[in-house]
Structure 1
Amino acid sequence: MKCSQFKDKLTEYIEENLSAEADEEMRSHLLTCQSCKDDFDKEVLEYKTFKEALSYENINFKNSTEKIMESIDKNKYTRGRRGMKRKYKGALAIAAAFLLGVIVTPVAMKLMDGKEIFSAASSGKEENSTKQENIVKSEMAKENNSNEPIESVPETSSNEEKTSDDIKKSANVNIVDLYSKAEVTMSKELTFNTPFIATEDGKYEASIEGKGEKAIEEGIGILYVKDTSTNKMYEYTATEKESQQSPLSISWYDDTHLMIVHGLGYGTLVNGERIIILDVTTGEQMLIATAKDKERFVSITRKDDSLILKYALYLDDMMNDKEDKSKTFDNYILGDVIEVE
């Protein structure tokens, strides 16, 4: 069935004046055409509201559709049943108003004796209106539930829309200020940097500029963080310039926190002396590790709820010989301070 045919027969379908075959065709079309379904819902709401408005106890109205349709001069209409439908609505409204006047007038005469009766009638009218509205809403809800497929609500990932305040933090966070933050243009060209590493959700990307592709060249590095959701980029510069401090290695703790191995930017030794976790949404910096004696940090990564620290342990005071070591910190809570020994 075409949409135009459906709309032509919509009034008869609502009033149940169609044949069984035509009625089934209309019902089938409703299940496959959302546009016609919307038109049907509007018509049903208007029809039922109007019908309920004329409902009174012990008074029944007969359907005058056929008589009204017969009284219409069909030669005056050239647009088919749609034009007739609009004229029909106007005629039906006039007929309804007339019938309402006939019914209400005698009732009103009886109610002229006192204000209390008038007040009661007004209250009853409001209650009747509310009742009618609830009935129509209930009918529409049932109709929609029976004809529309049930949509499943997608489950929300545990990390989705998670902010820094939602993440469990240690009660003993050590806040430091080792990096200053500044916004730079997204088109800024980086020429001597590590590849950008992205968070799991892809919102942030980070890179170290100034120390080569593997961040092992001598020099003071600058940390760059891209926010792909806002198309902005920020640079983080080490504040301890006199002591030539630099980011040496980076990895993501989660979608908003970046772990940084921090130390001397020059020399051929392993120079990581501190580990900082940077909140890229607020700029907050947490110091979680400080090297002791002959310890020097190489990298730190996260696996599930554990941190894996790779470090060098130098064996002599001249730092000529060293052992490469690794240590895992299980059940780590963000901000906890860790120690090798």
Structure 2
Amino acid sequence: MDCMVFRKRLNDLVEDNIAYDLKDAMLQHIVECEECRTVYEDELSLDAAIKKGLSIDSKAFKSSRTQIMKSIDKNKYGTSPMKKFMNHLRKYRGTYTSIAAVITVAIVITPYIGKSGLGFTAKKSENMSNAQIASKSSESFKNEMSTAKSAPKMQSNSVKGQAEAKQDTSLAITNRDIPERAFEKKALNKTYMPNFNNGWTDSVNKKYSATVEGRGISSEDEGVATIVVKEAVTENQWAFNLLNNEDQQSSPKSVYWIDDEKLLVIVGIAQGHASKGGNLYMLNTNTAETITADPKNTANLQNGSEIMRVVSTNKLPNNQLEINIEVSVYDDDIQNEFHAENRIIIVPIK
């Protein structure tokens, strides 16, 4: 018997699960082969240890070695090349799995790497565009600086133009538009007592008296006022209200008697305290006829200027009336600061 056959059937010999003739031949072989005898003795020692370890209460498990040997994976410990290859794959499956994962990730991210490269190219192109824009901005800045250097000259021309515009404005003041006004006359009860008024003003011969009701003593409060006229002898009273004033933007502010029939009335903005005066009108208290006192703007008022009050009047020949008025004259272009001046206008009267 050769050594290969002996070792192949060694387990059967140890378990005594072998034919008699084969057993005799194997025992004869270990007598002659020292190496196989050593292997046989080692296997006997291992079998004894297994039986001792599996014994419970002095009861030994029969065929324990055989069952263990049967449980051993023959594929794992087979000698054929295919079995060895499969066993190798199972043994190093973790390593091969990692390698496969790396390869998969590489395949997945390769397109993105390509896109990153394109992105870098695009970014580079964008940076070049920014550089071009910066260059253009630099050129624009140079142009602005060049323009700034010539600004004093342009500003000088602008000032000259403003001066010419002011001259044109001064010429236009003569044709200053003054809105037409009309009053409605209504009779009041004799016992009517005007309140919140600026006091009674008597006519030249004291036949009549008049007051502005609704704007306080100084006539500077906000609101639309009413002119009240009272006859001294009969104590009859009439109210004069502005027509076409539905928006409540205008109001009579003060009155001044020319004679026993006609009143000079200043009409201005009803709301706010910034406006102290307005435009001047002539009101006939008998007929309620109203005309603009200075339609041609002989007072040469600036745009935005106002007549603050009537200082005095003087009748002239040929039905002319000289009116001394106090006007506001602005000291700045934004009409924030002003001073008062007296001016004379001459108007026709009937």
Q: Give me the TM-score of the superposition, normalised by structure 1.
A: 0.44
| The structure with more helix, counted as a fraction of residues | 2
TM normalised by structure 2 equals 0.43
Pick 1 or 2: higher relative contact order, CA cutoff 8 A, min separation 6.
Answer: 1
